[in-house]
Amino acid sequence: MAGRAARGVWWAGCLLAAACMSGSGADTLGESLSRDSSGAPAALRAAYIASIQADAPEAFHFRAAPSGLAAEAEGRGLTASLGGEGARVVARGREGARGWEASFGAVALGCEGAAVEVGEATPVLAGRRAEYRQGEVVTWYQHGPLGLEQGFDLARRPGCAARGEGAVEVSVAVGGSVRPVRLDATAVRLVDEAGEEAGRYAELFVRDAEGREVPAKLDVQGERIRILVDDREAVYPLVIDPLVWEVSQVLTSSGGSGAQQLGASLAISGDTAVIGAPRATVAAVGEAGAAYVFTRTGGAWVEQQKLTASYLPGSPVAARFGASVAISGDTVVIGAPAPMPVGSPGRAYVFTRSGSTWTQQQQLTPADGQANDEFGNAVAVDADTLLVGAHFDDDQATNGGSVYIFGETGGIWSQVEKLIAIDGGAGDAFGESLSFSGDLALVGAPGHVNPGNPTILAGAVYVMARVSGAWEQAQKLDAPGPTVRRFGYSVARDGTTAAVGAPGDTAAGLAAGAVYVLTQSGGIWTQAQQLLPDTGTSEAFGTSVALRADRLVVGAPLEGATDAGAVHFFDRSGGTFLRTGRLPSTAGNDKLGISVGVGADTVIAGAPGALALQGVARVFHQVEKLDAGQPCGGAAACLSGFCVDGVCCNQACGGGTEACRACSEAAGAAADGVCTIRAAGEVCRPGAGACDAEEVCDGVVGTCPGDALAPAGTSCRASVGGCDAEETCDGATVDCPEDALLPSGATCRASVGGCDAEETCDGLTDACPPDGIAAAGVECRAATGACDVAEVCDGTSGACPDDVVAGAGVECRAATGGCDMAEVCDGLSGVCPDDALAAAGTVCRDAESLCDAAEVCDGANAACPDDVIAAAGVACRPAAGPCDFPESCNGVTADCPADVVRGAGVLCRAALGTCDVAEVCDGVGAACPTDMLAAEGTACPGGACVAGVCTQDGTGGGAGGEGGGGVGGAGGGSVPPILGGDACSCRLPGDPAGASAGVLGERAAFSALALMALAVRRRGRRGSR
C-alpha cells in the first residue's frame, strides 16, 4: 500500500470485528488522529498491520463461494461473505450474548453531504484481498490474523474536494440485524432491535500514497456510516485491531442490596474470581463491606460464597471490607482499610477454601500500625507470602505509605517485614497498588512528586526484590515524561513485562490517562511503550490494569460524558501491544473498569456504580466457537452465530420467511453448514389446520410463499360412510367445520342402473343401508314405442339389460281398414313409422266372382268402399264356344250363373258343301267339334271330294251371272256345288270355321231363297279372289 506512487491516491481502512478501529474523540478532523495510543509511530503501526494481514496463512484467504467470495478462520470472531450487493459480516455470539450480522452495501463518494453512490460491482480476487472496483473508488477487504480489514482506494480526489468544497466523504450503507448509531467522532455503535449494542465500527485510519497519515472521523447519517477525510495534513493514525471482545455475562450478588458497590475490586485465579463490595451493609452495619466468590462451571460464572469479616455487632473491627482483594489458588486476601473503630490502621483478612467452602483463616493487622494508615488498601498474595499496602502510613513521611509482608508457617500468617521507599516523601502513597509473584513485587507510589516540579503528582513505581529471604528496593521507576500524572496508581506484572497505570496523564487530554508498558532485561526495567486512550479527556484511562502473557486489559472508569466507563483490550504481537478492542458501558455512572482482572480466556471488569451503586461485574469472554457444519445446540456455540438444522451455519439461514433454506444435508442443504435453497416442492410451512394449505418451496428463492388458506370448497374431512357428509373449507378460517351426518332421506348410494334401487340415510348413522337390486322380471326400461321391447331385471345385476328394438319387418301398427296399410319396424328405432293410407285407386277388395266388381281406395279413408254386385243382365260369362250359352248376372248374387252348354246334337257347324260334314254339339263342351271334311272321294256333283273340294272336269264356266258380277274364267277345273252335293262350302272371311258353321247352323231356318242368294254371293266372292 505504501508503495503507490501516484499523487493524490490515498486509502482508508479499518478492521471489522466487534468494532473497526477508531480515532480519538476530538471534534475536528485534524485532531481525530493526532495522537498515537500505542506510543509507536503511526507508519510503524500501519506497516505492522499491513505486514500481518498480507502474510496471513491460507486459512484466512478469501475463496470462491456460491454467493461470491467468503473468508473465515477457525476460532475467529468474524466470518465475511462478499456478493454483488456488498459485504456481509457475521460476528459470533458469546455465551449468554447474541451474535450479530451487518451488511455493508452501496458505497458513495463525494464531498461531505453530497456523496453519490458509485454503483454495484462484482467482487474479484486480487492477490490475497477481495476488491469491488467501482470506477474512481475501489472497496477492498482483506482477512488475516488481525481480522477483516476494510478499505477504500481512491484514484484521485473528487472534483468537489479539489475545488475546496469540503472534506472528502466515503459512506457505506449498513443493514442486517443492526443499525449504526454514532457514539463520537471515532466510533459508531452497531445496535440491535432492542437498542443494545451488538458491536462497533471504529478505530478508523487513513493514509495517503506517500505514507502520510490523514485525519479522518466517523459519522452517521440515516443508515449510512460516513468516513470524513481531511487530506490537507498528515497525522498519526490510531491503531487498527480486529479482535472481538463481548460481554458474555453480568455478575450480581445474590444477597446484596443498596449501594454496596460490587466490583470496586476484583481478582481472578483460574476459574475462581473474588469481587469486592466494600460498601455492603452486613448485619445492619453500614459499609461494613463484603466480598463474593464466583466460580466458573460449564462456561458460566456462579456465586459460590459471600465472605464477610468476623465481628461483633455494635463493635465492628472492619470497615470497607472488600476494598481490595487478591487470590492465589485456594487462598483469598481481603483488605478492610477503613479506620474502624476510630483510630484503627485497617485490617486484612485471609480466607481459605476447603472443597467449595471458604473459611476465615486469620485477621491481619500491622505490628506498628497507626490510626488511618488504611492498612489493606491493596493486597497481593502468592503461595505462602502476601503483601498488604498501607498507603497512608506515616513512618517515613505523612501519608508516605508502606507495604507489610506476611509469611505463612503451619497455617499461621506472621508479619516478616515492612517495606518503605528509600526516597519516600509525604503524600507518595507508597503501597497504593501492588503486583507480586515469586520474589519480585512492584509497588506504586502515585503521589510521588516530579523532582523537577514539586507541584505535580507524577508518581513512581518501586521494584522490590526478595534476595536470600530479605526484601530490598531493586529499582525506582519515575514517571517517564512531563505529561505523566499519578504514575503507579495501578500496576500489573507477568514475568518480565509490567503495565503501570497513570490515570491522570495529560498526553491525550486533561486527565485522559495513560498506561506505560515496562520490560525487564538484565534485571533492569525500562519503558517499552505508551498506551493512550482514544476517546477523550477525563477518562482516567489506567485506573486499573491486568496483565497475563501477551494480553493487557486497561480500565477507564470515567470514560464517557456520564462516567459510564470502558474496558480497553490490548494484545502483544512482535513485542508491541496493539489495541484489540474497546467495550464501553452504555449506562451513565457505571464506572466500568474501576477494577479489571484477566484470565486465560476471560476478562472481568467491575462497574461499582451500576444499578444505582449496587454494582455489577461484567464478564468478557473469548472462546473457541464451532465451525460451520459442526453439530450445535444453539447459536451461541457457533463461530458464525447461527445454528440452523442442528449444525453451525455459514450465515443466517431458514426459519420465519427463510424456511426454504436449509443448512444441513439431512434438511436438504448441499453440505452441512452451507446455507442452501431447498428443492422445489418441499414443505416450508405446514398447515396450521385442516383448512390451512401448507406452503412449499419453489426451488428458486429462499423465502417461503405467503401463508394462505385452502380455497373454499376444499375437502378437509373425508366422509367415513355413505351417510357422513364430507366437510369442506370456507376459505376464511383454518379449521374444518364440525363433523355432521347427512339428513334423513338424503341419497347415500345412487342407483347404478334401472335394476338398482337408490339408498337413503336415516339421519342417525354414518353408514348407508345395504345395497339392494330389483327382483328378476321387474321392468327396468319401458318400451319407448311400438318397435321397442321393454327390458326387465335379471335379479343379479343392478344394470338394466341393453335396450333392444324390434327387428326390421315386425308389424308395429295393424291396418284399420282395407285402405290402411300396416306399419312395420325398421330394426333401428323403437318408434313405429307414421300411420299412412293406401293411395287412391288402390284395390282394397277384389271381385269375389264374375258378378262382383273390385273396390278401390279413395286415398282419404281407411275403410274400403261397400261391396257392390253387378246389376241383373250384365253379362258375366260369354259363350265359350258354339256349344256354350253366355251367362249374365242376376243382380242378387255375386256369382255368375252356372255355365250351361248346348244340348247334344245341336248343330254347331253346318256343312258347307258336299265335301264338308256338319258338326253338332256333344252336350258337354262349349266347343264345336272339329270341322270335318267329307271323306276323300265322296261323290259330289260333277265329281268327287278331294281334300274337301268337289273336283269336276270341264272347259270353264260361262260368264258370271248378273247378280254375281263375276266374270267367267277359263274353262276346266272344278266348280263347288251350290247346295247339296253341288254347292261349295263357304265361311265368312275371317271367321273361324266353327263360327261360320255356328252362324250357318243358327240360320238353318233361313229360306232356301235366302240361302241361294247367299250362296251366289259367296260364289261371286270366291271367283273374284
Return d(Cα 393, Cα 375) in angstroms, integer: 8
Nearest to 606, CA basis, from 258, 271, 273, 256: 273
Return d(Cα 612, Cα 603) in angstroms, integer: 23
Strand partners, 920: 907
Model pLDDT, residue 421: 96
- Dihedral, CA atoms, 865, 869, 874, 875, nearest 10 degrees? 100
Q: Sheet containing 300-307: which strands, arranged edge to edge?
A: 265-269, 272-277, 290-297, 300-307
The cell 463484603 sits on which residue?
Answer: 290
Query: Does residue 901 surpass a pLDDT of 60?
Result: yes
Model pLDDT, residue 99: 66
Q: Which of 3-12, 532-541, 758-767 has the lowest mean pLDDT?
A: 3-12
Q: Which of 507-516, 658-667, 929-938, 985-994 has the lowest mean pLDDT?
A: 985-994
Beta strands in 270-373 (DSSP E): 272-277, 290-297, 300-307, 324-328, 331-336, 347-354, 357-364
455 vs 50 pLDDT, higher one: 455
Q: Sheet containing 602-607: which strands, arranged edge to edge?
A: 246-251, 616-621, 602-607, 595-598
On whether residue 928 sits in a domain, the answer given is yes
Model pLDDT, residue 276: 97
How many Å separate Cα 264 from the centre of its chain? Answer: 53
Residues 6+ positions from 760 with CB-CB distance below 8 Å: 744, 745, 746, 747, 748, 769
* Region of residue 422 (phi > 0: left; psi between -120 and 50: alpha; otherwise: beta): alpha
Query: Does residue 1001 surpass a pLDDT of 50?
Result: no
C-alpha cell at 601: 480466556
Query: Does residue 1008 surpass a pLDDT of 50?
Result: no
Nearest to 272, CA basis, from 602, 549, 621: 602
Model pLDDT, residue 625: 63
Contacts of the segment 58-63: beta carbons below 8 A, 24+ positions apart:
60/143, 60/144, 60/145, 61/128, 61/143, 62/125, 62/128, 62/129, 62/130, 62/141, 62/143
Query: Does residue 1003 surpass a pLDDT of 60?
Result: no
Return d(Cα 496, Cα 478) in angstroms, integer: 18
Model pLDDT, residue 559: 92
State the pLDDT confidence band at 1012, using cuts at 50, 70 and 90.
Answer: very low
Model pLDDT, residue 69: 86
Of the residues 671, 696, 721, the one at which a domain ends = 696
State the pLDDT confidence band at 600, using cuts at 50, 70 and 90.
Answer: confident
On whether residue 728 sits in a domain, the answer given is no
- pLDDT tens string 199-252: 677 656 676 554 456 778 888 998 888 888 875 542 222 222 223 355 668 888
Of the residues 221, 244, 267, the one at which a domain ends = 244
3-state secondary structure 211-234: CCECCEEEEEECCEEEEEECCCCC
- pLDDT tens string 375-430: 999 999 999 999 999 999 999 999 999 999 999 999 999 999 999 999 999 999 99
Name the range with the highest mean pLDDT among 118-122, 137-141, 500-504, 814-818.
500-504
Domain residue limits at 670: 635-696
Q: What is the mean pLDDT of the chain?
A: 80
State the pLDDT confidence band at 331, using cuts at 50, 70 and 90.
Answer: very high
On whether residue 63 sits in a domain, the answer given is yes
Handedness of CA 641, 647, 651, 655 (dihedral sign): negative
Determine contact, residues 978/907, Cβ cutoff 8 Å: no
C-alpha cell at 176: 442486517
**DSSP secondary structure, 618-658, as one string:** EEEE--PPBPTTSB-SSGGGBSSS-EETTEE-SS--SSGGG
Model pLDDT, residue 162: 56
In order of 138, 165, 1003, the CA distances from 118 in angstroms are 10, 19, 156
- pLDDT tens string 135-144: 777 787 777 6
- Residue 967 burial (CB count, 10 A): 11
Return d(Cα 512, Cα 538) in angstroms, integer: 5
Pairing verdict, β 224-229 and 779-781: unpaired
- Residue 230 burial (CB count, 10 A): 21
Percent of the chain with pLDDT strictly greater than 70: 78
Return d(Cα 461, Cα 479) in angstroms, integer: 8
Report which residue type is found at 588.
G
Return d(Cα 635, Cα 199) in angstroms, integer: 17
Determine contact, residues 599/633, Cβ cutoff 8 Å: no
Return d(Cα 223, Cα 182) in angstroms, integer: 11
Return d(Cα 473, Cα 728) in angstroms, integer: 95
788 vs 463 pLDDT, higher one: 463
Query: Does residue 952 surpass a pLDDT of 60?
Result: yes
Of the residues 186, 217, 244, the one at which a domain ends = 244
Name the range with the highest mean pLDDT among 71-85, 363-377, 934-948.
363-377
On whether residue 996 sits in a domain, the answer given is yes
Query: Does residue 363 surpass a pLDDT of 90?
Result: yes
- pLDDT tens string 957-976: 443 344 333 333 333 333 34
Return d(Cα 691, Cα 710) in angstroms, integer: 5
Strand partners, 500: 491, 516
Q: Which of 315-324, 860-869, 958-967 has the lowest mean pLDDT?
A: 958-967
Rounded to the nearest 5°, which phi and psi values hold at 959? -65, 145
On whether residue 739 sits in a domain, the answer given is no
Return d(Cα 810, Cα 832) in angstroms, integer: 10
Name the range with the highest mean pLDDT among 33-37, 522-526, 753-757.
522-526
| Count of domains forming the chain | 3
Determine contact, residues 148/20, Cβ cutoff 8 Å: no
On whether residue 894 sits in a domain, the answer given is no
Pairing verdict, β 460-467 and 470-478: antiparallel
Return d(Cα 572, Cα 570) in angstroms, integer: 7
Residues 6+ positions from 417 with CB-CB distance below 8 Å: 404, 405, 470, 471
State the pLDDT confidence band at 300, using cuts at 50, 70 and 90.
Answer: confident
Query: Does residue 361 surpass a pLDDT of 90?
Result: yes
Model pLDDT, residue 256: 67
Pairing verdict, β 168-176 and 147-154: unpaired
Model pLDDT, residue 161: 57
Return d(Cα 978, Cα 875) in angstroms, integer: 39
Query: Does residue 15 surpass a pLDDT of 50?
Result: no
Nearest to 387, CA basis, from 402, 372, 374: 402
The cell 512531563 sits on which residue?
Answer: 482
Average pLDDT of span 477-489:
94
Handedness of CA 715, 719, 722, 724 (dihedral sign): negative
Nearest to 152, CA basis, from 167, 169, 127, 128: 169
Residues 6+ positions from 83 with CB-CB distance below 8 Å: 67, 68, 69, 123
Element of type H or E holding 1023: helix 1008-1024
The cell 505486514 sits on which residue?
Answer: 51
**DSSP secondary structure, 763-814, as one string:** SS-SSPPPP-BPPTT-EEE--SSTTBPPEE--SS-SSPPPP-BPPTT-EEE-
Element of type H or E holding 376: strand 375-382
On whether residue 640 sits in a domain, the answer given is yes
Return d(Cα 791, Cα 983) in angstroms, integer: 93
Query: Does residue 80 surpass a pLDDT of 60?
Result: yes
State the pLDDT confidence band at 1, using cuts at 50, 70 and 90.
Answer: very low
271 vs 91 pLDDT, higher one: 271
Q: How many residues does the chain have?
A: 1025
Return d(Cα 526, Cα 505) in angstroms, integer: 19
Return d(Cα 622, Cα 643) in angstroms, integer: 19
On whether residue 918 sits in a domain, the answer given is yes
